Amino acid sequence: MNTTSKMRAMRVHEPAGRFVLDTIPRPELLRSTDVLVDVKASGVVPNLRNVMSNYGERAYLTVPDLPAIYGLDAAGVVAQVGSAVTGIAPGERVYINPGRSCGSCHACRIGEPINCVAFTFQGYFGFGPQSKQMYRQYPYGGFSEFATAPADGLVKLPEQVSFEQAARFGYLGTAYSGLRKAGVGAGRTVLIVGASGTLGLGAVQIARAMGATRILCVARNEAFLQRVRALDPQRISTFSYGQGSLADWAREQTGGVGVDAVVDAIAPGASHQVTLDSIAALRRGGRLVEIGAMTDPLPMNLHEMMCAQVSIVGSLWFSVAEGQDLAAMAAAGTLDLSVFEHHRYSLDQANEALAEAEKRAGGFVNVVVVQ
């Protein structure tokens, strides 16, 4: 543990600016329920530069005041705990779930913190003006040597999960929560759209761990799809989008019934036609869960959806409990995290790390800042 009162942090001083290595005071615990984490690894989100450019542009997203410390998915070792913390001890390995909520609004009081009016991703962005309050309470992202977090925002990590793998938990947790909402499990078939990407590959691995009987994977890059299929040839089938009818192929794979669930993990910028084709692949009563933030307006025939009892669900993030599930699955060996290829950068190389992440080299690559 660093016993000095200072720490290093890569901070952004102007919109869309580069990270600058600064020396700033080490965080202090302001609440008895908080912890201080010695950060060992932080994920690098390919979309981060767009978020850093968002000052004053999108009213529905809120970014931290400058200078800001970004870094969404941080993992490390607990260095200090507040006086009221009983379930977490110094020296424990943890992942910081960055989802922050106010704790007292209507959504928080009924047990739905992700729907909080002030919901904010620590080290990334928030969903409204009240997120500014969350930034003031927790201003430290993963691109710093230390970060504070509420004790109930931590996922304990087993030894089987490396810090680099934990820095992927934001994507893995988002995929897991979406799969749960879709009802994926034993005896179920699931179609994963964007299966070769960061979110999609995680969904494939977790669907395997959850016991999905058939996993149909859709992407455009045939070479990536071959790697995905090789993970579990008995259960995984792949389809290169644009090479025929997706809906017809999915029904052929399911004896004409259609899939039980679709997890849509395609990124913003994709055509809405991909999503419409995926809806057409659903069986009667099937469900599509959106986790990839497709932004192209979606023209839907609600009468047709009603008659087929098809559901479309948005799934934003994941709970600490769901993160703990992932850790337990990895410890048990049912969730295989060894497929990720970690591209490691030091803290002072955060600019280079983001530049590589922006190349979007596929879901097998995990760009991470390590300390």
Each domain of the chain, given as residue ranges in start order, spans 6-168+340-370, 171-314
Per-block mean pLDDT, blocks of 10 residues, the chain (371 long): 79 91 96 97 92 63 91 97 97 98 96 95 92 95 98 97 98 98 97 96 98 96 95 97 94 97 90 94 98 88 95 96 98 97 98 95 96 95
Whether the domain at 6-168+340-370 and the domain at 171-314 fall into the same CATH topology: yes
Q: Give the count of beta carbons closer than 10 Å to the beta carbon of residue 361.
A: 15
End-to-end CA distance of the chain: 12
Q: What global pTM score does this model have?
A: 0.95
What is the sign, positive or negative, of the torsion defined by CA atoms of 170, 172, 177, 178?
A: positive
Strands (E), 220-340: 236-240, 259-264, 282-290, 311-314
Its CATH architecture, for the domain 6-168+340-370, is Alpha-Beta Complex (3.90)
Per DSSP, the three-state class of 120 is strand
Q: Give the count of beta carbons closer than 10 Å to the beta carbon of residue 260.
A: 23
**Adjacent-strand bridge partners of 69:** 11
How far is the C-alpha of 14 from the C-alpha of 59, rounded, in Å? 18
Residue-wise burial string across 301-331, b where 16 or more C-beta atoms lie within 10 A, e elsewhere: eeeeeeebebbbeebbbbbbebbbbbbebbe
pLDDT at 295: 84
pLDDT at 57: 52
Topology of domain 171-314 in CATH is Quinone Oxidoreductase; Chain A, domain 1 (3.90.180)
Q: Which amino acid is at 144?
A: S
Burial of 119 (0-12, 13-18, 19+ CB in 10 A): buried
